[in-house]
């Protein structure tokens, strides 16, 4: 089976695609489907992501491709559990910490695999594009930026490369994730970032100050007390600042706890905690329309831009 011919016009994407197929041949059918009927505009986005990913992975592309298969297999196991029981397997943050976050080796595979989903899962590709094109341009000159839960570090790239950004801070509770973020940014030439091992709930707003831009991508679903998280985000967001939230619904994973059933429920949840939602983007999982994903209770990535309610 061969890749769609159009992909060959994008050298970096072609390189990563070919390596992924070579390392995980059982995924070739799904990868061909992913690359079929992709618009030229999305191909340009994927090519740009491929350039960034190649910088991030260095000489370890094979390992990242292998870890993509690892994360797909883990998510499939969680999906089967979710379909049987109608809920996520875990119910407490302590369980997630013991089973996932405290395991450095597992976290490495997890973060590596998630990075590759920026190419191979269309919802991840499109939400990141939305972040770059709809969120970043709203920010004021000299903005003070914070990301909480940096994961693979890719969401730090746009503000890190934006000359209007005044300062760059990252909080994470995982030492593995924090180290990965530092290394990711170093590989694109960014060293002026303050990466802190910080529990967001323990942060003192009086000491950390207010941020003009906060990214909270794929974090809410990991939390036992998501309401407290949104209250804290409001405490550290400046009065004129913007918050970017990305939360998948109906999305089982080995460390997901908080379940919402529709993207509208995500919007309502954010509004209930003192925010005005000014824009939204809903992206269904790869290969599905939004209508089909709703009907079958499949994963939908809900992304939104919010500010403090006036």
Closest CA to 219 of 253, 245, 254, 197: 245
Number of CB atoms found within 10 A of residue 140's CB: 14
Task: Give, to the nearest 10 degrees, the angle between helix 61-85 and helix 40-57.
Answer: 110
pTM to 2 decimals? Answer: 0.94
Domain definitions of the chain by residue range: 5-90+104-120, 122-308
> Which pLDDT belongs to residue 1?
66
CATH topology of domain 122-308: Rossmann fold (3.40.50)
Distance between CA 236 and CA 290 in Å, rounded? 33
Distance between CA 45 and CA 158 in Å, rounded? 13
Q: Which two tokens stand for residue 162?
A: 């934006």
Q: How far is CA 69 from the centre of its chain?
A: 18
Written in H, E and C, the secondary structure of 87-106 is CCCCCCHHHHHHHHHCCHHH
Distance between CA 221 and CA 35 in Å, rounded? 28
Distance between CA 119 and CA 24 in Å, rounded? 15
Distance between CA 119 and CA 133 in Å, rounded? 17
Backbone angles phi, psi at 240, to 5 degrees: -105, 10
Residues 224, 93 contacting (CB under 8 angstroms): yes
Q: Per DSSP, what are the bridge partners of residue 202?
A: none
Ranges of residues in the chain with a pLDDT under 50 are none
Distance between CA 201 and CA 2 in Å, rounded? 49
> Which pLDDT belongs to residue 101?
83
Distance between CA 109 and CA 307 in Å, rounded? 34
> Which pLDDT belongs to residue 291?
97
Residue 208: which region, alpha, beta or left (left: phi > 0; alpha: psi -120 to 50)? Answer: alpha
CA 97 → CA 88, 90, 91, 223, distances in Å?
Answer: 15, 11, 12, 11
pLDDT tens for 237-268 read 999 999 999 999 999 999 999 999 999 999 99
Locate tokens 């707003």: which residue? 205
Q: Which two tokens stand for residue 127?
A: 């939400």
Locate tokens 């000489």: which residue? 59
Distance between CA 163 and CA 167 in Å, rounded? 10
| CA-CA-CA-CA torsion sign (36, 37, 43, 49) | negative
Q: What is the DSSP letter of 11?
A: H
C-alpha R_g of the chain: 19
């Amino acid at each position: 089976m061969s890749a769609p011919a159009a992909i060959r016009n994008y050298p970096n994407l072609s390189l990563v695609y070919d390596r992924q197929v070579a390392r995980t041949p059982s995924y070739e059918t799904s990868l061909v489907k992913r690359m079929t009927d992709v618009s030229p505009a999305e191909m340009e986005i994927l090519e740009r992501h491929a350039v960034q990913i190649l910088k991030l992975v260095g000489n370890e592309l094979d390992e990242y491709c292998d870890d993509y298969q690892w994360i797909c297999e883990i998510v499939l196991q969680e999906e089967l559990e979710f379909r049987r029981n109608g809920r996520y397997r875990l119910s407490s943050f302590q369980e997630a910490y013991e089973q996932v976050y405290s395991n450095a080796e597992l976290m490495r595979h997890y973060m590596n695999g998630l990075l590759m989903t920026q190419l191979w899962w269309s919802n991840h590709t499109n939400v990141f594009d939305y972040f770059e094109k709809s969120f970043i341009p709203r920010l004021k000159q000299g903005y003070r930026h914070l990301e909480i839960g940096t994961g693979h570090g890719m969401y730090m790239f746009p503000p890190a490369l934006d000359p209007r950004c005044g300062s760059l801070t990252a909080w994470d509770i995982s030492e593995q994730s924090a180290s990965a973020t530092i290394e990711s940014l170093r590989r694109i030439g960014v060293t002026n970032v303050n990466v802190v091992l910080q529990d967001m709930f323990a942060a003192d707003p009086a000491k950390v100050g207010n941020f003009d831009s906060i990214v909270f991508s794929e974090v809410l679903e990991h939390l036992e007390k998501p309401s407290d998280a949104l209250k804290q985000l409001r405490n550290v967001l400046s009065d004129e600042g913007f918050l970017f939230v990305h939360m998948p619904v109906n999305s089982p994973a080995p460390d997901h706890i908080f379940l919402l059933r529709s993207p509208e429920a995500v919007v309502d949840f954010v509004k209930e905690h003192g925010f005005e939602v000014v824009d939204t983007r809903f992206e269904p999982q790869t290969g599905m329309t939004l209508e089909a994903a709703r009907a079958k209770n499949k994963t939908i990535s809900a992304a939104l831009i919010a500010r403090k309610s006036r």
